[in-house]
Amino acid sequence: MIPQWFKNYFFSLRAFYQTSSLLLPWLIAAFSVCFIYGLAGGLFLAPADYQQGDAFRIIYVHVPAALTAMAVYSIMAMSGLMVLVFRMKIAAICMTCSAQIGVWFTFLALVTGSIWGKPMWGTWWIWDARLTSVLVLFFLYLGFIILHSVLPNNSGRDRACAILAVVGVINLPVIHYSVIWWNTLHQGPTISKFARPSIAPAMLHPLLAMIAAFLLFYGIILLTRMRNEILLREIKSQWIKEEFSHELA
Amino acid sequence: MLNAFFTIIKHEMLITLRSAHAWLIPLLFFGMVVCLFPLTLGPDTDVLKKIAPGIVWVAAVLATLLSIENIFRADAEAGYLDLLLLSPQPLAFLMLAKIISHWLVYGLPLVMLSPLLGMVLQLTPAASLTLFYSLLIGTPVLSMMGAIGAALTVNIRQQSLLLPILILPLYIPVLIFGTNAVMAADNNLPVSGDLALMAALSLASMAFAPLFTSLALRTGANQ
């Protein structure tokens, strides 16, 4: 069913370990470029918003963090599916490492949103549809991490966590839309505050750069964590001895 | 296959009916939690009317979480769960029977009690009836989703609050639609939309939850 070359490559922790060490410098370089341009463009080059003044600049942290949080959850759930269907070790490692990173992006999105909300809406928190869905995402991440930490460390743990991730991602759209309907039925359109005129290019380009930078940052941290996890799991295997033989000699 | 399905339901019902008043505990819990709210928030009719759907639904969620935690535990300890896992019948189908019997024993009594609680909390008769319908359609979702969590945590004994943490976020849609329907009925608005959405959630959870439950149980058993 799965071609052998694919199996040799993607199911092998050793191949992943070696490729990722080649990939990491490139990711770091791309991240640095995007991050420096995004930061300079967002904080200095982009004009201040005519309504929100300089306070709008928190968008360059808030939106990338929220987007990355959601992207990480979907990557986590896809890895979970791979764990359940193909029993891929590497997918299990990717899933658990992603959860630990994603929860911090979600936390960052909540905190920056709150800091932005105080001067703009006059309150730290409103029960707006988007805020509530991000909060639920935060709870889903925490549930996953707690389940992972409580279960005994064996192959069953990865599969149990994968089930939770997959069930969570099936429910996420339902939760999102139910929260939107709940909000529009009860509270009136406070959300229209989001619907400002389409964003000017001078503001948009740094934002896109920051989104790319956040995703690349996730990639860097993910690869680093996965490499650590691989070393921990495979510490007794022969290839690690070969890999580090020149350092041990 | 159908034979096994009905045997399990019959078996579960018999066990519950013969164990003294076990089914009464979540029901009493449900009633008592609901009664705490008028006592703490004051007997103001308008306030109670406004928060009644939320109170009843949250109490139903808590009662379900209390009872579903043990859906597999006694079976696992007695070795009955291993027999189910080894049986030639499809496990998901057997799990559907287990969850349905759980709902019949613990969910249905809550549903039956709910119109009375609605009246106590000053809901109009129409709204109380809608509360009854919304719980009737919605509580199976609570049992189905809860079973996934119970299957995931069946081997973890010391953490009794783990299951609610895993499952509560997944209950949000059904809570929203359920309370919405009752509030709409209280304002003389049509409720069929919310109830239809809940029925969709209910059917979807019946289709998927037994599969995930059996997958989780097999994972736990293979360790």
Q: If DSSP states are collapsed to H, E and C, what string results for chain A? A: CCCHHHHHHHCCHHHHHHHHHHHHHHHHHHHHHHHHHHHHHHHHHCCCECCCEHHHHHHHHHHHHHHHHHHHHHHHHHHHHHHHHHCCHHHHHHHHHHHHHHHHHHHHHHHHHHHHHHHHHCCCCCCCHHHHHHHHHHHHHHHHHHHHHHCCCCHHHHHHHHHHHHHHHHHHHHHHHHHHHHHHHHCCCHHHHHCCCCCCHHHHHHHHHHHHHHHHHHHHHHHHHHHHHHHHHCCCCHHHHHHCHHHHC
Name the phi and psi angles at A244, rounded to 5. Answer: -105, 10
Name the phi and psi angles at A87, rounded to 5. Answer: 55, 45
Q: Is residue A180 part of a domain?
A: yes
pLDDT given for residue A1 in this prediction:
61
Once rounded to an integer, what is the mean pLDDT over residues A47-72?
83
ipTM of the shown complex: 0.87
Cβ neighbour number for residue B161 with a 10 Å cutoff: 9
pLDDT given for residue A183 in this prediction:
66
Once rounded to an integer, what is the mean pLDDT over residues A227-240?
86
Average pLDDT over chain A, rounded to an integer:
84
Once rounded to an integer, what is the mean pLDDT over residues A144-151?
91
pLDDT given for residue B158 in this prediction:
73
pLDDT given for residue A176 in this prediction:
78
Q: Which of residues 152-191 of A touch B (CB under 8 A)?
A: 152, 154-156, 159-160, 163-164, 166-168, 170-171, 174-175, 178-179, 181-182, 185
Name the phi and psi angles at B161, rounded to 5. Answer: -90, 0
Mutate to test the interface with B, among A147, A166, A176 (most CBs of B within 10 A): A147
CB contact under 8 A, A171 and B173: yes
pLDDT given for residue A184 in this prediction:
57
Q: How far is it, in rounded angstroms, from Cα B87 to Cα B217?
A: 13
DSSP state of B223: -
**Helix B91-102 vs helix B192-221: angle between axes, to the nearest 10 degrees?**
130
- Name every residue whose Cβ is closer than 8 Å to that of residue B81 and which is 6 or more positions away in sequence: B72, B75, B154, B217, B221
Residue B131 has pLDDT above 90, yes or no: yes
pLDDT given for residue A227 in this prediction:
93
CB contact under 8 A, B156 and A146: no
**Per the structure block, which two tokens stand in for B24?**
């009464």
CB contact under 8 A, A171 and B170: yes
Q: Does B142 touch chain A (CB under 8 A)?
A: no
pLDDT given for residue A44 in this prediction:
83
Closest approach of chain B CAs to the CA of A71, in angstroms? 19
Residue A17 has pLDDT above 90, yes or no: no
DSSP-based helix, strand, coil % in chain B, nearest 5: 85, 0, 15
DSSP state of B134: H
Residue A6 has pLDDT above 50, yes or no: yes
Q: Does B72 touch chain A (CB under 8 A)?
A: no
Residue B187 has pLDDT above 90, yes or no: no
Read off the pLDDT of residues B48-97 as tens digits, 9 standing for 90 and up. 888 889 999 999 999 999 888 888 888 888 888 888 888 888 899 999 99
Residues of A in contact with B169 (CB under 8 A): 136, 139-140, 143, 168, 171, 175
Residue A220 has pLDDT above 90, yes or no: yes
pLDDT given for residue A197 in this prediction:
45
pLDDT given for residue B110 in this prediction:
92
pLDDT given for residue A198 in this prediction:
59
**Per the structure block, which two tokens stand in for B204?**
């979807």
pLDDT given for residue A192 in this prediction:
42
Question: What total number of domains does chain A contain?
Answer: 1
Q: How far is it, in rounded angstroms, from Cα B192 to Cα B199?
A: 10
First and final CA of chain A: distance in angstroms? Answer: 42
Residues of B in contact with A142 (CB under 8 A): 165
pLDDT given for residue B134 in this prediction:
94
**Per the structure block, which two tokens stand in for A231?**
């070393």
What is the chain B residue with the closest CA to A143? B166
Residues of B in contact with A131 (CB under 8 A): none
Q: How far is it, in rounded angstroms, from Cα B206 to Cα B97?
A: 11
Query: Which residue in this structure is represented by tokens 């997944």?
Result: B170
The mean-pLDDT minimum among A47-61, A134-148, A215-229 falls in A47-61
Q: Does B40 touch chain A (CB under 8 A)?
A: no
CA torsion, ordered A192, B177, A165, A145, to nearest 10 deg: 80
Closest approach of chain B CAs to the CA of A162, in angstroms? 10
Residues of B in contact with A151 (CB under 8 A): 155-156
Residue B41 has pLDDT above 60, yes or no: yes
Q: Is residue A38 part of a domain?
A: yes
Residue A23 has pLDDT above 80, yes or no: yes
**Per the structure block, which two tokens stand in for A191?**
């959300």
Q: Does A245 touch chain B (CB under 8 A)?
A: no
Once rounded to an integer, what is the mean pLDDT over residues A138-166?
90
Of A175 and B170, which is predicted with more confidence? B170
Q: Give the Å distances, CA to CA, from A171 to A60, A89, B81.
A: 29, 25, 28
CB contact under 8 A, B219 and A174: no
Name the band, by pLDDT with cuts 50, 70 and 90, for residue A201. Answer: confident
DSSP state of B218: H
Q: Does A127 touch chain B (CB under 8 A)?
A: no
Mutate to test the interface with B, among A174, A175, A180 (most CBs of B within 10 A): A174
pLDDT given for residue A194 in this prediction:
46
C-alpha R_g of chain A: 21
Mutate to test the interface with B, among A140, A142, A164 (most CBs of B within 10 A): A164
> How many beta-carbon contacts under 8 Å exist across A and B?
73
Residue A52 has pLDDT above 80, yes or no: no
Residues of B in contact with A173 (CB under 8 A): none
| pTM over cut 0.90 | no
**Per the structure block, which two tokens stand in for B40?**
């703490």
Q: Is residue A19 part of a domain?
A: no
pLDDT given for residue B95 in this prediction:
93
Residue B141 has pLDDT above 90, yes or no: yes
**Helix A129-150 vs helix A89-121: angle between axes, to the nearest 10 degrees?**
140
Average pLDDT over chain B, rounded to an integer:
89
Name the band, by pLDDT with cuts 50, 70 and 90, for residue A186. Answer: very low
Could you tell me if B94 and B218 are in contact, meaning their C-beta atoms sit under 8 angstroms apart? no
* Structural domain boundaries enclosing A111: 28-248
Could you tell me if A66 and A138 are in contact, meaning their C-beta atoms sit under 8 angstroms apart? no
Q: Is residue A13 part of a domain?
A: no
pLDDT given for residue A249 in this prediction:
66
Name the band, by pLDDT with cuts 50, 70 and 90, for residue A188. Answer: very low
CB contact under 8 A, B176 and A182: yes
pLDDT given for residue A78 in this prediction:
93
Residue A9 has pLDDT above 60, yes or no: yes
Mutate to test the interface with B, among A163, A172, A175 (most CBs of B within 10 A): A163
pLDDT given for residue A233 in this prediction:
86
- The domain ranges of chain B are 2-221
Read off the pLDDT of residues A76-133 as tens digits, 9 standing for 90 and up. 999 999 999 988 888 999 999 999 999 999 999 999 988 888 887 778 887 777 788 8
Mutate to test the interface with A, among B57, B72, B145, B152 (most CBs of A within 10 A): B152
Q: How far is it, in rounded angstroms, from Cα A134 to Cα A141?
A: 10
What is the chain B residue with the closest CA to A183? B176
pLDDT given for residue A203 in this prediction:
77
Residue A190 has pLDDT above 70, yes or no: no
Length of chain B: 223
Residues of B in contact with A178 (CB under 8 A): 172-173, 176-177
CATH number of the domain where residue A150 is located: 1.20.120
**Per the structure block, which two tokens stand in for B104?**
């019949």
Name the nearest CA neighbour of A117 among A59, A60, A70.
A59
